[in-house]
Amino acid sequence: MADYDRAKELKAFDDTKAGVKGLVDAGIVHIPEIFVTPAITENEFSAQNLECSDIVNVQIPVIDLEGINEDDFRHRKIVEEVGEACETWGFFQVVNHGVPQHVMDEMISGIKSFHEQPNDIKMRFYSMEPMKKVMFNSNFDLYQSKSANWRDTLACLMAPNPPTNDELPEACREELLQYSEHVRKLGHIIFELLAEALGLKPNHLLDMECARGHFIISHYYPPCPEPNKTLGITKHTDPDFFTILLQDQIGGLQIYHKKQWIDIHPVTGALVINLGDLLQLLSNDKFKSAEHRVLAKQIGPRISIACFFTTQLQPFERLYGPIKELLSDENPPLYKETTVRDYVYYYNSKGLGARPSLLHLRI
């Protein structure tokens, strides 16, 4: 398109403050050019089109946390399963994780209500300012990425120094507070399991203050009239220690594993856990921060809630690098140290779909 002024179109979309849902509500039948993703090639969509079903049917491990503190044998078995999943996939699902089903259901419907409330109320939360503790926007990396994604997001930094209750949107305030408390507790359990799986004392990662912050990013993926031309989220890794993801039953999340895209099918009652770049760094590459993406779909909306364990851009000077206890002459450090803030800042400045940010710290 000769007369296509991308910068102008991006700005116009940003100025609507209505996100992708605003476009869908306006009844568009073709997606605007800013969302068209030229890199979606056969390879990008291969998992959908593959004839060979044995690859597509591979599933990430589902780990049952039942009895985790009651029985030593069970506990050791769970640690082993977690370690294996982190080394081979960087992704797993957990069931019997202690977050009640009603809390998850209410969170999903609270977030749906937030995104579906009248625009004039929702717009008050619209911001592209990354230091804000509560912000609604569409594509945090709108001006950095090559193509925009079919997704709107409400992001709330719940710790440290959470926003006051009044600052949280009324449409999902109670649900957010309730879910945040449950997911924080589960996060602690996961940090202990990860430490043990690395051969460290259970509280090692907690003592390093890895659980100091958590950031809840609640996505709304509207139905897309041309799902083969864009993505819900571009391929990326997460810039945190790990993420706990709650998704509804729509599907679309995929992980890039052994050069194939694998669907992560929603499992009722389960939460998805995926390791982020900072845990790959701490573990000196023993554990993986796996690349993943979300397809756009004709059906929807799809709701997903990602809880990132990170202090994001908050001032916090602690340095993180490969854990000394894991290093040896045969296993020298592969990464330089960083603060969480510097890392997130660098990651955000590149936008999704860029060269993996961890390479920037590679020794």
Q: Does 141 sit near Ni ion (CB under 5 A)? A: no
Q: Cβ distance 295 to 228 under 8 Å? A: no
The DSSP H or E segment spanning 246 is strand 242-247
Q: Cβ distance 70 to 100 under 8 Å? A: no
Residue 136 CB, shortest distance to Ni ion, in Å, is 18
What is the distance between the alpha carbons of residues 34 and 55, in angstroms, rounded to a whole number? 33
Span interacting with ligand OGA, options 17-25, 157-165, 245-253, 277-285, rule CB under 6 A: 245-253
- Positions in 211-240 near Ni ion (CB under 5 A): 238
DSSP E strands: which ranges in 1-67? 62-64
Residue 152 CB, shortest distance to ligand OGA, in Å, is 11
Residue 293 CB, shortest distance to ligand OGA, in Å, is 7
Q: Does 273 sit near ligand OGA (CB under 6 A)? A: no
The site for ligand OGA, by CB under 6 A, has a size of: 11
Query: Which one of ligand OGA, Ni ion, none interacts with residue 304, CB within 5 to 8 A by kind?
Result: ligand OGA
Query: Which one of Ni ion, ligand OGA, none interacts with residue 168, CB within 5 to 8 A by kind?
Result: none
- Positions in 236-255 near Ni ion (CB under 5 A): 238
What proportions of the chain, in percent to the nearest 5, are helix, strand and coil? 35, 20, 45
Q: Does 31 sit near ligand OGA (CB under 6 A)? A: no
Q: Does 141 sit near ligand OGA (CB under 6 A)? A: no
Q: Cβ distance 256 to 337 under 8 Å? A: no
324 Cβ contact partners less than 8 Å away, ≥ 6 residues apart: none
Q: Pick the closer one to ligand OGA by CB: 238 or 277.
A: 238
| Backbone φ and ψ of 200, nearest 5° | -105, 170
Q: Does 304 sit near ligand OGA (CB under 6 A)? A: yes
For the sheet containing 91-95, what is the strand order? Answer: 62-64, 91-95, 271-275, 242-247, 302-309, 214-221, 152-159, 134-137
20, 65, 244, 306: which one binds ligand OGA (CB under 6 A): 306
Interacting residue ranges for Ni ion, rule: CB under 5 A: 238
Interacting residue ranges for ligand OGA, rule: CB under 6 A: 217, 219, 233, 238, 245, 247, 253, 292, 294, 304, 306
